[in-house]
Amino acid sequence: MKYTTLGKTGLKVSVAGLGTGGFSRLGLKSGKSEDESARLILDAVDMGINFIDTAPAYGTEGVVGKALKSIPRQSVVVATKASVRRNGEWWTPERVVESLDNSLRLLGTDHVDVLNLHGVHAPEYDHALNKLGPALLELKAKGKIKHIGLTEDPITDHSNEALKLAMKDPVWEVFMVGFHMMHQIARKQVFPITREKGIGTLLMFAVRSMFADPPRIAREMRELAAKGLVEKWLGETDDPLGFLIHEGGAANVIEAAYRFARHEPGVDIVLFGTGDAGHLRMNVASLLKPPLPDADRRKLAELFGHLTNGIGLDGHQGTAK
């Protein structure tokens, strides 16, 4: 495993981070027991992964807690989340404190290393900063959280509007950002600022379902080409990303997607979800490979660097359009 420092937090973290939400929820969605899913976390730790991301909304904090019973707490960096607004209701500072206390109970720990406000939209930012921010700082002073972060919601916010608001406020030490081969807008709008200010970055959506489904890639390219959003030839082939697969390049599109994300300047941790030990090993192997060839990275930037339509930013209930 390779390690880096998460922004200015001082946390030494693996470049591969285990996400416990997404479509698999550590295999819980496909019928795994909590014990089996906890074993998967321990497999990841055995491979050198030391960053685990969870959230109350995922229903996996208890599973993470099971795994934490088997390893020294200081050997892993644990991040969870709290909401700003849910089901039309604004969260109060008291509710955030209550949520964190419940998370700590389920995780079986007295602190989390990062608490992220979950999926913040631009119209919610003022509430996040001015109503909840002081409570987060108080929780940090008490030692219940070590660092404070914020995650965007790329499923609906395709242009980093929430993060652009958050960049100017020093309370945030970590951002979770959506970024992948066909959604590169954070390269210009987010990463230059996070690098300058030392804000740690957690990357989501590097693969999701998009790059694991070649027929879907071709369908999406046909739609984009018909709208004039990508070059015409990309809509005329069944293998629009085939140029990435060659000797000296990537072995397959999923590997290419992970290598693209992992080596983007400004990215600290690439998060991925899994419900299977074999899939876990393949993802880690891809993330530990060298960058894509410069020519391939340039071509991806030329072909897709302008896109802001949210391609591949899938929610758990479908595809963002």
Condensed to tens digits (0 to 9), the pLDDT of residues 270-286 reads: 999 999 999 999 999 99
Query: Model confidence over 243-261: pLDDT tens digits?
Result: 999 999 999 999 999 999 9
Long-range contacts, stretch 83-88, CB < 8 angstroms, 24+ apart: 83/56, 83/57, 83/117, 83/118, 83/119, 84/117, 84/118, 84/119, 84/120, 84/124, 84/127, 84/128, 84/132, 85/124, 85/127
Whether the predicted pLDDT of 319 surpasses 70: no
| CATH class for the domain made up of 3-213+253-304 | alpha beta
Query: Model confidence over 203-231: pLDDT tens digits?
Result: 999 998 899 999 999 999 999 999 999 99
- Percent of the chain whose pLDDT exceeds 70: 98
> Hey, how many other C-beta atoms are within 10 angstroms of the C-beta on 34?
17
Whether the predicted pLDDT of 129 surpasses 70: yes
Who contacts 256 (Cβ-Cβ below 8 Å, separation ≥6)?
181, 211, 241, 244, 245, 249, 250, 292, 296
Tell me, letter by letter, the H, E, C secondary structure of 218-254. Answer: HHHHHHHHHCCCCCHHHHCCCCCCHHHECCCCECCHH
